[in-house]
Structures are given as structure tokens and as C-alpha cells.
Amino acid sequence: MIELKNINKELSKHELYEQLFVHIQAVTHGESNLIANLSNICALLKEEMNWFWVGFYLVEGEELVLGPFQGPIACTRIKKGKGVCGTSWEQKKTIVVSDVNQFEGHIACSSISQSEIVLPIINVEGKCIGVLDVDSEYLNTFDEEDQIGLEKIMNHIVSLF
């Protein structure tokens, strides 16, 4: 088990993502249980990036169902095409929302969330099997660098299913 000590808070965003990737690989290495791995990934993302809410929604039939997460309680079910998560699922695309109040149909699980990024989990058959949702209490938190960093992490996450 890795121990996370002396995490340098002075790192650039790029360096933070590099460190995060290494920690995610380490914490999932040798563990085959999906829920255990997704749970630890949420903990690392929340702790190291200091985001408001981090969590997975997993596809079950025509809905996304809340999976492992870190942060306040959240909506448990989201229909395909609804909200940012359901739209990411339907379009199989990462969606960056700089102001959630400007996103039509945004589902507010918490009024504190101001911006968010949602990445689809696409398996080897090209099927979307879930999403990773990250929320911030500040506007304009996520940019292209976050998208690139999280998409690299997503390539690892999909290998865990």
C-alpha cells in the first residue's frame, strides 16, 4: 500500500497531474476489485487536487447510477442525455462547463458547485459504461490542461473494468 506523504503543494498543474497519475497507478496496482480501485481514485483526486466533489456514475440500463465518490451526498440516478453527466454519456465526449448556471439542464446536486468537468468511460468495444464527474465550488476551474490530465487518467481507469 502506498503512503502519501510530503505532497508538495507548490507544484504546477502539469506536475500535479503527473504526480496524480503515478499515485493512481500505484494505488490500483495488484488490486482487481473495481469498487476498491474507483474509491481510492476518488480519494486521490479529491485530496491532491482539492476539488469540491469527485465521483463516478456507472451505466445501468438507461440510467447512470452513483458509484464511488468523495464529497457531499449526490443525486443517485441520472437519465441518458440529462445534465452534464447524461450528456457526456450520450455524446461520448468530455464536457467542460465553466459556469454550471449557463449549462441548460445542469443537475444541481449541490448549489455550491459552480463549474465541472465530466469524462465518459469508454470501453474497448466503444461503449460508454460510466462517467467521471468532478465539481468545483469556483467558476472556470477546468481548462484544457485538466481535460488532457484527466483523459490520461481515464485511459488507466478504463483498464480497471
Q: Which residues bind ligand SME (CB under 6 A)?
A: 53, 74-75, 78, 83-85, 106-107, 109, 113, 116, 133, 135
Q: How far is the CB of 100 from ligand SME (least distance, A)?
A: 7
The radius of gyration computed from the CA coordinates of the chain, to the nearest angstrom, equals 15
Q: How far is the CB of 9 from ligand SME (least distance, A)?
A: 25
As a whole number of angstroms, the distance between CA 43 and CA 55 comes to: 9
Q: How far is the CB of 144 from ligand SME (least distance, A)?
A: 21
Nearer to ligand SME, 16 or 84 (CB): 84
Distances (CA, A) of 102 to 26, 97, 107, 140, 157: 38, 8, 12, 12, 29
Which SS3 state, helix, strand or coil, does residue 118 take? Answer: strand
Nearer to ligand SME, 48 or 135 (CB): 135
